[in-house]
Amino acid sequence: MTEHASPTDPTAPVPGDEQPGGREAGTAQASGELGSNEQGGNEHAGNVGTAILLASVAALGGFLFGYDTAVINGAVSAIDATYNASALALGLTVSAALLGSAAGALGAGRLADRFGRLFAMRAAAILFLISAIGSGLAWSLGSLAVFRIIGGIAVGIASVIAPAYIAEIAPAWIRGRLGSLQQLAIVVGIFLALLVDYALATTAGGSNKDLALGLTAWRWMFLAMAIPSIAYGMLSLAIPESPRYLVAKARLSEAREVLRRVLGEKGLNAKIAQIRDTLKSERPPSFRDLRGPALGLLPIVWVGIGLSVFQQFVGINVIFYYSSVLWQAVGFSEKSSLLITVITSVVNIVTTLVAIMLIDRLGRRPLLLIGSAGMTVTLATLAYVFATAHLDSAGKPVLEGSSGPIALIAANVYVFAFGMSWGPVVWVLLGEKFPNRIRAAALSVAASAQWVANWVVSTTFPTLASIGLGLAYGIYTAAAALSFLFVLRLVKETKGRELESMTE
């Protein structure tokens, strides 16, 4: 009679897994079967439709992430007028969600490892709903900031859980494309937020005008987020838990069923054995696992932090947080500025679709390098245009002659370069590049660093802009150039590799 370890032991053999050669043979079998997938012999095994459906539900958190972070764009001027806020108070309110996002991202990994990926999704949905209603009904600038922080915590959780869950349920040969759904959902959320801002402001005759039920248009911009928040929470009840989390909790039969749904029947026991072998011990995951010789952290964690920071230091969110104010500052009306911002968000969606088509063909590194080069050129163009622009009596730049069209084209080409590279690829890499045991914790640290970097860029932009937009865009140009060197020297390709092959 074959002896089995305790059924609560994640290192116990899976029923049906016994074979000559023991665990090593099982792992070898897994590697062989999975390797054949990468070579095309069996790459379409499993239910791709199920994998897409599960990834799409998880990515709905990205939609809310995008909506929540962009909705403030059309409301900034109205909030300023409503509360007669100082520049500092307004800037802190706009960026308050980012500090919440950093906190939410930092805690998301521990939450997900202890209670599961689905529990974290549902917690985020509840926080999104509270933020939507509270922000729309805010009675003071301070209360608005508090509800924005709550929404930010939800954004931070979603920014960690969605890429982690998608990476953990996706077959390796389409993991890049499924991981890119997170960024697609983010940019669609940004687009819808800006479209709602434009529609409500246009209908009411201004974002600070009454619209319905005694509430001004900017309040409805926030309240509209309640609908997708409820949908996110309900749909999270209909999808299964991550198979890697289930294996870590020794719920092997459940893990096997989830893997069967997305990978098919062949090699399931070997796959579970391979996942189990990477978990190494029963010790619960901890931030202590991230410790290493490189300034206190593992080198791979520093690479994740670097990817996150550079994604923000190239200044992309200046376009989405301040673009309507920016275009008004150079002579466009509020209506035209909001319309330009909507068009820019459409460009972002199109380029994300381009990335989804290319990421599993060209790979992650080539897209990042192409994007860095494109952003360097376009940001340098914007820096030159604004640095040489004529200033009006208020000290604001006036784009005369061909300068206006050049700036608009450069801004949209910049969004194209970002959207087909650093936008989706960073989220894919953060979801897949870390070993199983440290994935959630490392992703939490990297995503938290991303939100801190986002906060730094967003809060410093008004000050930099008051000195000169040429200076602001010059700094972002330098960051884009450095991002090229960072990828060239430190980022390794992960295309087609199984999650279990990712090492520290």
Check pLDDT > 80 for residue 425: yes
In a domain, 18, yes or no: no
Identify the residue whose tokens are 């959902």.
185
In a domain, 214, yes or no: yes
Q: In b/e form, how buried is each residue of 362-401, taking b as 16+ CB within 10 angstroms?
A: ebbbbbbbbbbbbbbebbbbbbbbbeebeeeeeebbebee
Of 493, 456, 488, give the one whose Cα is nearest residue 472.
456
Find the range with the poorest average confidence among 19-28, 228-237, 316-325, 384-393: 19-28
pLDDT of 306 = 93
pLDDT digits (tens, 9 = 90+) for 121-173: 999 999 999 999 999 898 888 899 899 999 999 988 988 888 888 888 877 77
Print the domain residue range for 219.
48-246+285-495
In a domain, 338, yes or no: yes
- Are 420 and 412 in contact, with CB atoms under 8 Å apart? no
pLDDT of 37 = 40
pLDDT of 158 = 87
Of 159, 173, 152, 175, give the one whose Cα is nearest residue 58.
159
Structure tokens at 391: 């200033």
- Are 345 and 319 in contact, with CB atoms under 8 Å apart? no
Interval 28-44 mean pLDDT: 39
Structure tokens at 403: 């300068």
How far apart are alpha carbons 58 and 159 in whole angstroms? 10
What are the angstrom distances between the C-alpha of 393 and each of 340, 390, 396, 459, 461?
25, 10, 7, 25, 21
- Are 189 and 67 in contact, with CB atoms under 8 Å apart? yes
pLDDT of 248 = 80
Structure tokens at 417: 């370069």
Check pLDDT > 50 for residue 10: no
Identify the residue whose tokens are 């410093």.
460
Confidence of residue 29 (pLDDT cuts 50, 70, 90): very low
Find the range with the poorest average confidence among 40-49, 181-190, 253-262, 308-317: 40-49
How far apart are alpha carbons 50 and 71 in whole angstroms? 32
Would the CA dihedral through 37, 41, 43, 47 be positive or negative?
Answer: negative
pLDDT of 265 = 72
Check pLDDT > 90 for residue 297: no
217-223-224 Cα angle (round to 5) = 90
In a domain, 436, yes or no: yes
Burial (Cβ within 10 Å: 0-12, 13-18, ≥19) of residue 227:
exposed
Residue 288 CB neighbours (<10 A): 9
In a domain, 116, yes or no: yes
Element (H, E) at 360: helix 334-362
In a domain, 121, yes or no: yes
How far apart are alpha carbons 309 and 367 in whole angstroms? 17
- Are 410 and 130 in contact, with CB atoms under 8 Å apart? no
pLDDT of 373 = 96
Task: List the end-to-end C-alpha distance of the chain, in Å, as a whole number.
Answer: 39
In a domain, 1, yes or no: no
pLDDT digits (tens, 9 = 90+) for 257-283: 888 887 777 767 777 777 777 665 445
Check pLDDT > 80 for residue 317: no
Of 55, 44, 431, 36, give the one whose Cα is nearest residue 270.
36
Distance of CA 503 to the CA centre of its chain: 23
How far apart are alpha carbons 397 and 382 in whole angstroms? 12
pLDDT of 7 = 37
| CATH number of the domain to which 128 belongs | 1.20.1250.20
Structure tokens at 262: 């997305």
Q: Provide the number of structural domains found in the chain.
A: 1
